[in-house]
């Protein structure tokens, strides 16, 4: 009996050690992922630095874009955008209605099964 108790204690200790190792590995994995994310963000920020020196002359900045707006006057760009948004809203509304119906059906099934 005494040897079985010792064996059980040893197995329990070994399992606890394995659990601790798993937790340590999980913690190290999280730290590694965070470190990789920080490094990736730092590289991104370094490579995408904006030089504000290009915009020192603000008087000419407005003149550069005046011609761009003339191109949009003849096009129905705004109308097309509004139509696209309305179409998207209708599609979303249909999907929401489908989901609501599916949820209501599922609730009815659960209630019927519970009874």
- Residue 36 has a pLDDT of 93
Contact of 97 with 105, CB cutoff 8 Å: no
- Residue 24 has a pLDDT of 84
Q: CA 59 to CA 46: how far, in whole Å?
A: 30
Joined tokens for residue 34: 């965070």
Its pTM stands at 0.36
Give the residue extent of every domain in the chain: 1-49, 53-115
Q: Which residues contact 61 (CB under 8 A, 6 or more apart)?
A: 55
- Residue 7 has a pLDDT of 82
Which residues of the chain fall short of a pLDDT of 70?
A: 50-76, 115
Among 94, 98, 97, residue whose Cα is nearest residue 86? 94
């Amino acid at each position: 009996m005494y040897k079985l108790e010792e064996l059980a204690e040893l197995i329990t200790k070994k399992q606890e050690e394995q659990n601790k190792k798993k937790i340590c590995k999980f913690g190290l994995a999280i730290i590694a992922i965070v470190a990789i994310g920080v490094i990736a963000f730092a590289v991104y920020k370094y490579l995408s630095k904006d030089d504000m020196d290009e915009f020192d002359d603000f008087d000419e900045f407005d003149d550069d874009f005046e011609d761009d707006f003339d191109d949009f006057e003849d096009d129905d760009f705004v109308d097309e955008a509004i139509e696209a948004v309305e179409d998207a809203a209708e599609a979303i509304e249909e999907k929401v209605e489908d989901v609501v119906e599916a949820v209501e059906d599922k609730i009815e099934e659960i209630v019927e099964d519970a009874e």
